[in-house]
Amino acid sequence: MISLSRGEIEALIDLPQTAIAIEQAYRATSAGQVNLPPVGHITFAEAMADCHIKFGHVQGDENFAIKVATGFPLNADQDMPTGNGLVLVVSAQTGGVQAVLHDEMLLTDIRTGLGGAIASRLLARSDAMRLLVVGTGPQALWQIKSHRALMPKLERIELWGRNAVRAERVAKELSKEGDVDVAEDLEEAAIKADIIVTATGSMSALIMSDWITAGTHITAVGADAPGKQELEIDLVSRADLVAVDLIAQCVDHGEVSHAIAKSALKKSDLVELGTLLNNRCNWQRTPNDITIADLTGIAAQDIAIANAVLASM
């Protein structure tokens, strides 16, 4: 049995190559080739924390995967990691455990970052140059790394966070690979952005509809559990296209769930990212379209990145 630590796993990751596997996971999911049971979810109200258990199997794969990931955002106040977890890779022929990837949330962070960048690359305007990332946690960092890797033509990247000290810290860490500016005013930064990525654990809207100009794309990755919300409902209902990673999952606890609950959006208004990637939709972007990708994270991504790590050994 293979057992890998976080450091060993990170050394095996190549972002562009892993992105190919993540994109294929979206395609396979929307083509009905992945068995994805409902997500297991536990909340810890006093700690403002949660735990996700995601698992699934791609048709024909020798193995399946089970991922456990925890999010304890208050840990940041004590300079402790806010996320942790592991991925089990299990034989689909014998049920034997093939690998334990003790990634401490790294694989979830990377596959979510790559998923966000894949969505932005697909849905944003081809001339998009200005990226705003909202959030200061590990996911904000990986969203910027992933967007840089998949969208190298981006000319300006801004980061905004409710905690200015953390925002400066993340920007400084990323400055080794290129400039990241800290935005002082969220509204002003959102108005100017071509692409906005929201990566927070917010329980109420941070991005308002009035701030968003024609042609903007938004990738929202924070609403991965019941109650979480980053976008104003009016903004979601106003969008010309709303893409999701998995319709059944997003209508339950994704960003779009709030608009659907208020009858401001219908399930039939949604299109899966994999469907768009598979060219099974007639949508074509116009310069003035407002587009939104609501990504709650799917087990197919966890399977894909686990397989990519093992294949790199």
CATH assignment of the domain containing 223: 3.40.50.720
How many independent structural domains does the chain possess? 2
Q: Would you place residue 237 in the very low, low, confident or very high pLDDT band (cuts 50, 70, 90)? A: very high
What Rg value do the Cα atoms of the chain yield, rounded?
A: 18
Q: How far apart are CA 301 and CA 288, in angstroms?
A: 31
Is the same domain home to 142 and 243?
yes
pLDDT one-digit tens code per residue, 49-73:
999 999 999 999 999 999 999 999 8
Is the same domain home to 214 and 169?
yes
Average pLDDT score over residue span 298-304: 97
pLDDT one-digit tens code per residue, 133-153:
999 988 999 999 999 999 999
CATH assignment of the domain containing 26: 3.30.1780.10
Is the same domain home to 140 and 272?
yes
Is the same domain home to 121 and 174?
yes
Q: Residue 197: which domain range?
A: 112-298
Is the same domain home to 52 and 121?
no
Q: Would you place residue 29 in the very low, low, confident or very high pLDDT band (cuts 50, 70, 90)? A: very high
Q: How far apart are CA 304 and CA 21, in angstroms?
A: 6
Is the same domain home to 280 and 260?
yes
Is the same domain home to 97 and 239?
no
Q: How far apart are CA 211 and CA 40, in angstroms?
A: 35
Cβ pair 80, 59 in contact under 8 A: no
Q: 157-160 contacts: CB < 8 A, separation 24 or more?
A: 157/130, 157/131, 157/132, 157/133, 157/181, 158/130, 158/131, 158/132, 158/133, 158/182, 158/183, 158/189, 158/193, 159/132, 159/133, 159/183, 160/132, 160/133, 160/134, 160/186, 160/189
Q: Record the pTM.
A: 0.94
Residue 238 has pLDDT above 90, yes or no: yes
pLDDT given at position 178: 82
Is the same domain home to 150 and 259?
yes
pLDDT given at position 73: 86
More confident residue, 26 or 165: 26
Q: Would you place residue 106 in the very low, low, confident or very high pLDDT band (cuts 50, 70, 90)? A: very high
Is the same domain home to 20 and 73?
yes
Is the same domain home to 248 and 135?
yes
Residue 214 has pLDDT above 90, yes or no: yes
pLDDT given at position 176: 80
Average pLDDT score over residue span 220-226: 92
pLDDT one-digit tens code per residue, 152-197:
999 999 999 998 898 999 899 888 888 999 999 999 999 999 999 9
Is the same domain home to 35 and 118?
no
Is the same domain home to 213 and 264?
yes
Work out the percent of the chain whose per-residue pLDDT is above 70: 100
